[in-house]
Amino acid sequence: MGTRRKSRELTLQMLFQADMGKQSAEDVRKTFWRERGDVSEDVQGFAEDLFRVATARSQEVDKLIEDHAQHWRMERMAAVDRNILRAAVAEFLAFPHTPHAVVINEAIEIARKFSAPESVQFINGVLDSVGKDLEAKPQA
C-alpha cells in the first residue's frame, strides 16, 4: 500500500474516532498515534495534514458534503461514509493540485475496504459533485 493511501486510511480512522467518541481533535491526536508506533513520518505527516484541515474547516467541509448529498443530512449518513467524505473534501480544499479524480478514486477504494458495498456509489456521486463545484469556483 502506498504512503498516501495509508495516510488517507489513518485520517479516516482519526475522524471516525473523533466523530463516534465525541473527542476533540487534540484528544484524538494524543491517543491515536500512541497506539501506532510503526507509522513512518511521511505517512503520519500527510494524515495529520488531512485531519487538521478536516477538523479546522469542519463546518465548510460538512456544508459542501450536505449541499451535494441530495436529501441526506450528515447525521443520517453511515459514520464511515461521512468520514470518508470529510477526509476527501478536506484533501480537495487543502491540496488543490492533487487531481480530483485521484482523490475520488482513493476514497472509493477506502470505501470498498471499510464500508458497505452500496456506499461506493454514494461516495463517488457526492465527491464527483463536490469536485466539479470546487473546480468551477476560482481558487483564492
Residue ranges making up the domain that contains 105 = 3-136
Tell which residue, 89, 69, 116, 71, has the closest CA to residue 12: 89
pLDDT tens, residue by residue, 77-113: 999 999 999 999 999 999 999 999 999 999 999 999 9
Closest CA to 77 of 25, 118, 49, 128: 118
Cα Dmax for the chain: 41
| Range with lowest mean pLDDT among 27-36, 38-47, 97-106 | 27-36
Q: Residue 139 — very low, low, confident or very high, per pLDDT cuts 50/70/90?
A: low
**C-alpha separations of 122 from 29, 61, 119, 138 in Å:** 29, 17, 5, 26
**How many domains, in total, are found in the chain?**
1
- What pTM does this model have? 0.94
Domain CATH for 9: 1.10.940.10
